[in-house]
A and B are shown apart, each in its own frame.
Chain A
């Protein structure tokens, strides 16, 4: 009886110590420092990044990595209130591309979850053997520094003075901006109906815009009503044209007789700044062999843009909008610094597209 109690206490102590070790990340640390394969080394590194253990992740990099801790953290965790700083690493896919005795190349696909959906970051990373373990070579990210300077910003800004509600009925007021849906196209996609097209702010003042669509049956009764949500540029400056896309999941196109469109515009304060150029756009394949529209965004103003969204409209040979897609950029747009972007294009659309147009939505933390 006496020995049984001693044995039980000893076993319980061992179990608790093991649990504590596991909880404190001991397994991952063990995996990292005993990474027997290149893929295991990359997975272990990403486990540390996922846990925000950036010091330990940096310590596990191969010494030939020419990056410093600050650049490494900025690369994987983001900076300047970019979308990456609000994201968390959801999952990691690792696939070997090449391997020999001392060196390997591994394709790393990081899926980050954010408030605007998941974002993929695909990189080919080098892994080197270091004795009995493998270590990841993380190159120093090529962040372009903005030289110290003063940038004058004198773009127009619109403010709104509304009608005093205490004034009599019929008192002078300012009308909402006039917007016009210039094109609308209903297409069938797997498992859904999609309404897409373009809308123009025809007015001389900025508009805050929402486009809604209602699908109607043959008897005029509604099937479903949806809005464009974030697949539109909500703030449109005078004469600016935005694509829009409205998805109706679970609806078949042959059940739709007609579509009722509703573009609602509000008068809002807005600024003509910043101006963002989308340069060097081209349709190509990405690392996962998907069709993408790639390019670079250049913030031409003096104020950083924290979060940017690329909206792309694709046209067929008759100029009809056949698809609208979007993609968020997880880096902040610093003035004059090109930042790459990539937007997915479905394979069937890529085969038919003749032309495309890119528009950039932006959010700046200090903007009002």
Chain B
């Protein structure tokens, strides 16, 4: 009986307390001294996995880098005849990845505060970096000069609100971690997104009329917004004609910058035009061939 007890104590030793380091960075190996003698079982319980290992007391316990990749709350447990445990936090490493949202993907020109650029900073293990990190935003419009802004993250995120410019076309917005002050990134990290600035509502919508016998051909001037940008092809323009035969309407898409349609006219007629909620000019035909007022 006493021999068995000796054997047992020699195999499962006496473990003292374990002490975790105060600061642990994700993906960094570290070691902790184990007091006592003999063997024990070590458990490391992390946010995304659990490690179980037999250890020799009285030596240093090496925690591999791969065991502390995930940032968050960890618990170490050392068990022999009894168990002792301690907790520690693993913090994200320096920024190495960006998740960058640029919203919306299309925006009408000349609209204030219409563009949202939001960047989340992650380390190389995709832990959200909660320490303030500087993010560079580079804005490059299709025409005109670009500009940049620097924002520091708060709780892992930073954002920017921008006005759309008066000219249609692509605007590239790039978010980057440049390894500058307050940023420990090893190299430059950039994420680029593109936003399409599109024409706003039609402005000064006008049509011209050509009459040939009982047929009138209606064609708009090039349809543009108030900043002079052409509305894209496929945009619907509604023509309405009212004459003795009744009312006729047709929704025609813009093609090559203009919308065009034909109507038969009986007697005098009034013809109007609209694009969305924007009304254009109205033309009155007096019933004589080619006559209009």
Residues of A within 8 A of B (CB): 154-156, 158, 168-170, 172-175, 178, 182, 200, 202-206, 237-241, 272, 275-282, 295, 300, 356-359
Residues A182 and B232 in contact in the complex (CB < 8 Å), given A172-B193, A240-B251:
no
Query: Contact between A170 and B101 (Cβ–Cβ < 8 Å)?
Result: yes
**Contacting pair B255 A155 (CB below 8 A):** yes
B249 touches A239 (CB 8 A): no
B250 engages A182 (CB within 8 Å): no
Closest partner residue, chain A, to B199 (CB atom): A204
Determine if B217 is an interface residue (Cβ-Cβ < 8 Å): no
Interface membership of chain B positions 125-144, coded 1 if the CB is closer than 8 angstroms to chain A and 0 otherwise: 00000000000000000000
B246 and A272 form a contact (CB under 8 A):
no
Extra pairs beyond A237-B234, A280-B248 (4, CB < 8 Å): A156-B233, A178-B104, A282-B247, A359-B251
* Closest Cβ–Cβ distance, residue B97 to chain A (whole Å): 8
Q: Given that A172-B193, A237-B236 are contacting pairs, would A278 and B276 also be in contact in the complex, using a CB cutoff of 8 Å? A: no
A180 CB to closest chain B CB (Å) equals 9
- Does B103 sit at the interface, judged by CB under 8 A? yes
Give every chain A residue within 8 A of B277 (Cβ-Cβ).
182, 200, 241
Complex: A264 Cα to B198 Cα, angstroms? 21
Does A239 lie within 8 Å of B99, measured CB to CB?
Answer: no
11 A-B pairs, CB-CB below 8 angstroms? A155-B255, A158-B234, A172-B102, A178-B104, A200-B276, A206-B234, A240-B276, A278-B250, A281-B249, A295-B247, A359-B251
Chain A nearest CB from B216 CB (Å) reads 13
Decide: B249 and A278 in contact? CB cutoff 8 A. yes
Known: A155-B255, A275-B250. A169 touches B234 (CB 8 A): no
Please classify the interface of chain B as helix (H, G, I), strand (E, B), loop, or mixed, using the class held by over half of its residues. strand
Q: Flag whether B235 is at the interface (Cβ < 8 A).
A: yes
Q: Does B261 contact A (CB under 8 A)?
A: yes
With A172-B194, A200-B277, A202-B276 as contacts: A240 and B236 at CB distance below 8 Å: yes
Is A357 within 8 A of B249, CB to CB?
yes
How far does the alpha carbon of A203 sit from the alpha carbon of B235 in the complex, in Å? 9
Q: Which of B148-176 contact A (CB under 8 A)?
A: none
Contact A275 B103 (CB under 8 A): no
Cβ of B233 and Cβ of A275 under 8 Å apart?
no
Given A241-B276, A281-B247, answer yes or no on A156-B234 (Cβ-Cβ < 8 Å): yes
A239 near B275 with CB under 8 A, answer: yes
> Which 7 pairs from chain A and chain B are nearest by CB?
A170-B99, A239-B276, A282-B246, A277-B250, A272-B253, A156-B234, A279-B248
A178 to chain B minimum Cβ distance, whole angstroms, is: 8
Contacting pair B234 A275 (CB below 8 A): no
Residues of B within 8 A of A202 (CB): 276
What separation, in Å, do the CA atoms of A272 and B255 have in the docked complex?
Answer: 10
**Closest chain B residue to A182 by CB distance?**
B277
B198–A204 CB distance below 8 A:
yes
CA distance A204 to B275 in the complex (A): 12
Please measure, in the bound complex, the distance between the C-alpha atom of A279 and the C-alpha atom of B106, giving whole angstroms. 36
From B105, B245, B251, give the contact of A174 (CB < 8 A).
B105
Q: Roughly how many angstroms separate A315 CA and B193 CA in the complex, as a whole number?
A: 45
Task: Find chain A residues with CB under 8 A from B100 CB.
Answer: 170
Give the chain A neighbours of B252 by CB distance below 8 A.
275
Q: Which residues of B contact A239 (CB under 8 A)?
A: 202, 231, 235-237, 275-276
Least CB distance from A107 to B in Å reads 25
Residue B42 at the chain A interface, CB threshold 8 Å: no
> How far is B191's CA from A204's CA once the two chains are assembled, in angstroms?
26
Separation of A302 and B249 alpha carbons in the complex (Å): 19
Residue of B with least CB distance to A205: B106
**Which residues from chain B sit less than 8 Å from chain A, CB to CB?**
99-106, 120, 191, 193-194, 198-199, 202, 231-238, 240, 245-253, 255, 261, 263-264, 275-277
In angstroms, how far is the closest chain A Cβ from the Cβ of B277? Answer: 6
Of the candidates B103, B234, B245, B247, the one whose C-beta lies within 8 Å of that of A238 is B234
Inter-chain CA distance A178–B252, complex, in Å, is: 20
Question: Are the C-beta atoms of B99 and A168 separated by less than 8 Å?
Answer: yes
Q: Residue of B at shortest CB range from A177?
A: B106
Distance in angstroms between the alpha carbons of A238 and B250 in the assembled complex? 15
Q: How far, in angstroms, from A230 to B242 measured CA to CA in the complex?
A: 28
| Nearest-neighbor residue (CB-CB) of A203 within chain B | B106
In the complex, what residues of B have CB within 8 A of residue A156's CB? 233-234, 253, 255
Residue of B nearest to A281 (CB): B247
Q: Which residue of A lies closest to B240 (CB)?
A: A357
Question: A173 with B105: in contact, given A239-B236, A240-B236 (CB under 8 Å)?
Answer: yes
Of A204, A240, A300, which is within 8 A of B106 by CB?
Answer: A204
Q: How far is the CB of B37 from chain A (nearest CB, A)?
A: 49
Q: Are B103 and A169 in contact (CB under 8 A)?
A: no
Bound CA–CA A228/B104 (angstroms): 27
Cα A168 to Cα B99 with chains together (Å): 8
For A206, the closest partner residue in chain B by CB is B234
Whole-angstrom CA separation of A277 from B237 in the bound complex = 12
A156–chain B nearest beta-carbon distance, Å: 4
Taking CB atoms, residues of chain B closer than 8 Å to A279 are 245-246, 248, 263-264
Q: How far is the CB of A134 from chain B (nearest CB, A)?
A: 38
Complex formed: what's the CA distance from A168 to B126 in Å? Answer: 11
CB distance from A49 to the nearest CB of B (A): 32
Query: Pick the contact of B250 from A154, A172, A206, A300 — CB < 8 Å?
Result: A300
Which B residues lie within 8 Å of A154 (CB)? 255
Given known contacts A170-B99, A175-B106, A359-B251, is B246 in contact with A277 (CB within 8 Å)? no
Q: How far is the CA of A205 from the CA of B232 in the complex (A)?
A: 9
Taking the closest CB of chain B, its distance from the CB of A345, in whole angstroms, is 14
* Chain A residues whose C-beta falls within 8 Å of the C-beta of B193 in the assembled complex: 172
